[in-house]
Amino acid sequence: MTGKLKPSAVPSGRWSRMAKLGSLAGGVAGNMLAEGARQFAQGKRPKINDLLLTPANARRVTEQLAHLRGAAMKVGQLMSMDAGELLPPELAEILARLRADASPMPMSQVVSVLNANWGEGWDRHFQQFSFTPVAAASIGQVHLGQTKDGQRLAIKIQYPGVRQSINSDVDNVATLLRLSGLLPKSLDIAPLMAEAKQQLHHEADYLREGAYMGQYGALLSDATGFSLPQMHSALTTENILVMTRMDGVPVESLSTAPQAERDRVIGLLFHLLFREIFEFRLIQTDPNFANYRYDSASQQLILLDFGATRSYQAPMIEHYRRLMHGATTGNRPAMNEAAQAIGYFQASINETQRNRVLDIFALACEPLRHDGEYDFGRSDLAARIRDAGMVLGTDRDFWHTPPADTLFLHRKLGGLYLLAARLKARVDVQKMAANFLSTVTIPLAVAPSR
């Protein structure tokens, strides 16, 4: 994606970032006035949402948030993944565009960050360093290098000012979304925004991510189907994560691979997810396809990016086990009890709303209930879940934000379903999940030390 967007300096100061958001709001309002005048001249009486959701405004919102990167871009990503089925289609489309990569930093800004973290003369460590990033996302961008002793490295450099701007950026974007009138007034997004702040602070701590990378490496030391980078501790700082370079091809490029290879890769990811939930109680919750690559030579799946890793408490994991077991066996009372314990239901929920929520859970567990290989390529499961969510979302009395841990777990599962559908994989998910759902043994996950 870095080749599609021109480099642009990341605004690092609080006021410059606020000014960018202010100019965004002003530009959107100006476009609305111009479009309104044009439609009035044609004898039309436009609605406010029709004026707001023009292609020009959609492009302006997307480009400006992508230019700000950091929290501004991440909030859009979170909203598009976590509440997409509850938002107006036009807003969901705008936010979904932010799942793509951001504009890369210009070379001068990259050098400035490197000098600040490694000191002048940092190039003494390298025989080669590429200033052209191979990836640019919401928090940072990735460069390649090789040390004097021949180590091939991937260097993730955080955009300047991202960590300091997280809280204000989230607040400003939330205000922008609210003032747009696109979000229902009854929808309380405060818990989601608070969680977005905490999650972003975690993702912006590269020492923390490096520790989780090491922990995953230890947890998966017995899994020959996976390969992970190792952190280069001597050069890693809070703002720069240096790790061994992992090559391979994008996992979505396997869409043309033999059926057996596609099935195996998705099977590996499902088994990993069940281990993350029920064995590790530690989940890498970012479903971005770019977090996975595939090494055709070794036939190993490469796992990248552990910034969105979250640990889960044993009681919640046990409730999820009971919820999923109930969904696979058709035990609605058990599902209802587990969902209640997790926090899916507000006190005022009525029986119709409760049953609709349980119906969605049952839908989501369809692959776990299917006898034999589930054909994700021929399934319309994602559309059925979306449609069920839309029906529930039209009930304004229902708006309720469940615990943040559940939203991030939904994100991970939804992303895996999308990837399985993209690769048209066939996986016996029921057989794979059986052992995990029939046991209550949940080992403790050890938090990484700094």
Classify the phi-psi angles of 270: left when phi > 0, otherwise alpha if psi is within -120 to 50, otherwise beta. alpha
Secondary structure of residue 95 in the 3-state scheme = helix
The pLDDT value recorded for residue 315 is 93
Q: What is the 3-state secondary structure (H, E, C) of 212-253?
A: HHHHHHHHCCCCCCEECCCECCCCCCCCEEEEECCCCEEHHH
User: How far apart are the C-alpha atoms of 3 and 136, rounded to whole Å?
Assistant: 10
User: How far apart are the C-alpha atoms of 221 and 420, rounded to whole Å?
Assistant: 25
What average pLDDT does the segment 31-52 reach? 43
The pLDDT value recorded for residue 117 is 95
User: How far apart are the C-alpha atoms of 91 and 54, rounded to whole Å?
Assistant: 11
Reading the block at residue 38, the tokens are 């044009």
- The single residue of 82, 169, 205, 286 carrying the catalytic annotation is 286
> Over the Cα atoms of the chain, what is R_g?
23
Beta bridge partners of 157: 141, 240
Report pTM.
0.78
User: How far apart are the C-alpha atoms of 136 and 10, rounded to whole Å?
Assistant: 12
Reading the block at residue 366, the tokens are 């369809």
- Closest listed residue to residue 408, CA positions, set 324, 266, 278, 310: 310
- Closest listed residue to residue 64, CA positions, set 116, 27, 12, 13: 27
Low-confidence winner among 253-262, 283-292, 328-337 (lowest mean pLDDT): 283-292
Confidence of residue 256 (pLDDT cuts 50, 70, 90): very high
Confidence of residue 51 (pLDDT cuts 50, 70, 90): very low
Most confident of 18-32, 272-286, 355-369: 272-286
- The answer to whether the CB of 13 falls within 8 A of the CB of 161 is yes
The pLDDT value recorded for residue 343 is 86
What average pLDDT does the segment 64-82 reach? 52
| 54: CB partners within 8 A, 6+ apart | 31, 32, 35
Low-confidence winner among 39-43, 107-111, 118-122 (lowest mean pLDDT): 39-43
User: How far apart are the C-alpha atoms of 113 and 10, rounded to whole Å?
Assistant: 12
Secondary structure of residue 333 in the 3-state scheme = helix
The pLDDT value recorded for residue 39 is 42
Confidence of residue 89 (pLDDT cuts 50, 70, 90): low
Q: Which residue type sits at 414?
A: G
- Closest listed residue to residue 390, CA positions, set 351, 369, 359: 359
Low-confidence winner among 35-44, 95-104, 112-121, 256-265 (lowest mean pLDDT): 35-44
What average pLDDT does the segment 251-259 reach? 94
Given a cut of 90, whether residue 438 has pLDDT beyond it is no
What average pLDDT does the segment 90-114 reach? 69
| 176: CB partners within 8 A, 6+ apart | 21, 24, 25
Per the annotation, the verdict on 171 as an active-site residue is: no
Beta bridge partners of 129: 145
Confidence of residue 328 (pLDDT cuts 50, 70, 90): very high
| 352: CB partners within 8 A, 6+ apart | none
Residue pLDDT, tens place only, 285-326: 988 888 999 999 999 999 999 998 999 999 999 999 999 999
The pLDDT value recorded for residue 195 is 80
Given a cut of 80, whether residue 241 has pLDDT beyond it is yes
User: How far apart are the C-alpha atoms of 155 and 232, rounded to whole Å?
Assistant: 10
Residue pLDDT, tens place only, 367-426: 999 999 999 999 988 778 777 766 655 555 555 567 778 878 888 888 899 899 999 999
Given a cut of 70, whether residue 198 has pLDDT beyond it is yes
118 or 288: which leads in pLDDT:
118
Confidence of residue 270 (pLDDT cuts 50, 70, 90): very high
Average pLDDT taken over every residue of the chain: 78
Given a cut of 60, whether residue 365 has pLDDT beyond it is yes
Given a cut of 70, whether residue 46 has pLDDT beyond it is no
Percent residues over pLDDT 70 in the chain: 68
- The answer to whether the CB of 289 falls within 8 A of the CB of 416 is no
The pLDDT value recorded for residue 93 is 54
Secondary structure of residue 206 in the 3-state scheme = helix
Percent residues over pLDDT 90 in the chain: 45
The pLDDT value recorded for residue 425 is 97
What average pLDDT does the segment 37-63 reach? 48
Residue pLDDT, tens place only, 138-167: 788 999 999 999 999 999 999 888 888 888
Confidence of residue 77 (pLDDT cuts 50, 70, 90): low
Given a cut of 80, whether residue 99 has pLDDT beyond it is no
Most confident of 196-205, 226-235, 341-350, 380-389: 226-235
- Closest listed residue to residue 205, CA positions, set 139, 153, 289: 139
What is the enclosing helix (H) or strand (E) of 422? helix 404-422
